[in-house]
Amino acid sequence: MSESATIANLPLPPGSRGLPLLGENLEFIRSPAQFISTRRARYGDVFSTHILGSPTVYLLGPEANRWIFAGEGKYLQNQWTAGIRQLLGQQSLAMINGDEHRERRRLLLPHFSQESMRGFVPTMQAITERHLEEWANHAGVLTIYPAVQALVFEIAVTLILGDGRDVDQPYLNKLFHTWTEGLFTPLTLNWPVTTFGRAMQARKAMFGYIEQLVRRRMRRDKQPDDILAALLATRDEAGNPLPVEAIVDEVQLLLFAGHDTTVSALSAMLLLLAQHPKVLAQARAEQSQFAPDEPLTPDQFRRMPYLLAVINESLRYIPPINGAFRVTTQDVAFGGYRIPEGWTIAVSIRGTHRGEPWAEADNFMPERWLADPKPPMGSFIPFGGGPRVCLGTNFALVEMSVVLTLLLRRYTWELEPNQDLSYQLLPTPRTRSGTRVTFRQRS
């Protein structure tokens, strides 16, 4: 029997399609974590549903993740929800596929290597020092989430778009936030009064503004050391520069991809450290090997295995991106089931991090990383995997290391009582209270 005939004989994965038109959206949006755990308990690691406008199959576990990441461009490709497809730039890395995606990544990767991050550390340090000082001078209780948002936005804008003198950051920040609110709305009606419609208006203004900045920079002789300069200098094998539209779309994608993710991660790390005093004490103790005012360098971070364990464990415990989507480009078989062409495949990053092979998966235990720093392939995927693995992994790791190191060396933060620290998971995990603390300079 041919392979396609064998696949045709397999059953579809078990599951339910929910209500006509609505599918199982309401349950999914109310609590994505519970949505997955109840179905996993009922059907196992492969189940089908209908969410965000498509028949969807969840494939859970490291083996499934390896199969999905290996299938890019062979039996599946990247898939964004209808809303995100309209909000992202069509020429950006996240939206292009196949050879075009491979070639663009080849051009961009050198600018995101560990070595390229070296030059960014002093800027990250200077911006972070200024923000942390403001946090400590802030009268009364500090809400971590918006404070981290302002810090991460300034770092991203400065290192992606320039030294900031050219950029109206409050204006761009406002557009960016209205745009972000449209990303996960289940209804993508583009009307002036809807969240999605307002996000589309913000999109137009934001892309127009970034294009102005890019064109202004193209006329400058001396470029600052930032990612936009690298994008402007990029040449393909024939010596052609990237088209302006692609540069604008890429800048916008980088601001988006690197912002809410890092904000969510750093906010979770501050909360987890406050909730685990022994972990906090050990992380502080590791910093005592350095002189307090020694400027930060990537080489110093290599001498902080415990800090890396805290970062990894936080990314495992509260991954900033809950999951990712792909679409099948042909009928395929996985786990004894048939998945028809055109169905969505969902990777659950959160579900992966809370299942096998993780022992005591619901406990926050950085020390597990000291015992075993390399978990099995496909079991730790905060940055995704395969050809679409996060382009900004090194950027994010260095940025988080800078912020945490300065916090550990110089500041204390204590949780305020009576606040709701439960998490809402979409679009990226954040506590319902925003995490309120008293924040002080260490004596």
From 28-36, 52-60, 120-128, 252-260, span contacting ligand HEM (CB under 6 A): 252-260
Q: Give the nearer residue to ligand HEM in terms of CB position, either 265 or 296.
A: 265
Question: Considering the rule CB under 6 A, would residue 404 count as an interface residue with ligand HEM?
Answer: no
Residue 50 forms beta bridges with which residues?
55
Q: Which residue is nearest to ligand HEM (CB)?
A: 392
Burial of 170 (0-12, 13-18, 19+ CB in 10 A): exposed
Question: Considering the rule CB under 6 A, would residue 394 count as an interface residue with ligand HEM?
Answer: no
Secondary structure (3-state) at 70: helix
Question: Considering the rule CB under 6 A, would residue 324 count as an interface residue with ligand HEM?
Answer: yes
Give the nearest distance from C-beta 115 to ligand HEM in angstroms: 16
Two structure tokens written together for 120: 């960014």
Burial of 209 (0-12, 13-18, 19+ CB in 10 A): middle
Q: Is there a contact between 216 and 247 (Cβ–Cβ < 8 Å)?
A: no
From 8-16, 122-130, 169-177, 387-395, span contacting ligand HEM (CB under 6 A): 387-395
User: DSSP letters of 100-130?
Assistant: HHHHHHHHHGGGGSHHHHGGGHHHHHHHHHH
Q: How many CB atoms lie within 10 A of CB 441?
A: 12
Contact with ligand HEM (CB under 6 A): which of 33, 37, 43, 105? 105
| Residue indicated by tokens 């202004």 | 216
From 136-144, 299-307, 316-324, 401-409, span contacting ligand HEM (CB under 6 A): 316-324
C-alpha angle 334-346-77 in degrees, rounded to nearest 5: 80
Contact with ligand HEM (CB under 6 A): which of 88, 147, 265, 309? 265
Residue 429 forms beta bridges with which residues?
none
Q: Is there a contact between 36 and 348 (Cβ–Cβ < 8 Å)?
A: yes
Greatest alpha-carbon span in the chain? 75
Contact with ligand HEM (CB under 6 A): which of 36, 183, 257, 408? 257
From 32-40, 181-189, 382-390, 407-415, span contacting ligand HEM (CB under 6 A): 382-390
Q: Give the nearer residue to ligand HEM in terms of CB position, either 159 or 365.
A: 159
Q: What number of chain residues touch ligand HEM (CB under 6 A)?
A: 23
What is d(CA 143, CA 267) in angstroms, rounded to the nearest whole number?
Answer: 10
Give the nearest distance from C-beta 67 to ligand HEM in angstroms: 14
Question: Considering the rule CB under 6 A, would residue 435 count as an interface residue with ligand HEM?
Answer: no
Give the nearest distance from C-beta 418 to ligand HEM in angstroms: 29
Q: Give the nearer residue to ligand HEM in terms of CB position, either 25 or 92.
A: 92
Two structure tokens written together for 92: 């950006």
Contact with ligand HEM (CB under 6 A): which of 84, 202, 246, 321? 321
What is d(CA 435, CA 143) in angstroms, rounded to the nearest whole number?
Answer: 6
Contact with ligand HEM (CB under 6 A): which of 59, 64, 88, 94? 94
Give the nearest distance from C-beta 431 to ligand HEM in angstroms: 17
How do beta strands 344-348 and 54-59 pair?
parallel
Burial of 192 (0-12, 13-18, 19+ CB in 10 A): exposed
Give the helix, strand, coil percentages of the chain, each rounded to 5.
50, 10, 35
Question: Considering the rule CB under 6 A, would residue 320 count as an interface residue with ligand HEM?
Answer: yes
Question: Considering the rule CB under 6 A, would residue 391 count as an interface residue with ligand HEM?
Answer: yes
Q: Is there a contact between 386 and 69 (Cβ–Cβ < 8 Å)?
A: yes
What is d(CA 153, CA 131) in angstroms, rounded to the nearest whole number?
Answer: 11
Question: Considering the rule CB under 6 A, would residue 148 count as an interface residue with ligand HEM?
Answer: no
Contact with ligand HEM (CB under 6 A): which of 32, 61, 62, 258? 258
Question: Considering the rule CB under 6 A, would residue 344 count as an interface residue with ligand HEM?
Answer: no
Contact with ligand HEM (CB under 6 A): which of 28, 58, 358, 383? 383
Which residues contact ligand HEM (rule: CB under 6 A)?
78, 93-94, 105, 253-254, 257-258, 261-262, 265, 320-321, 324, 382-384, 388, 390-392, 395-396
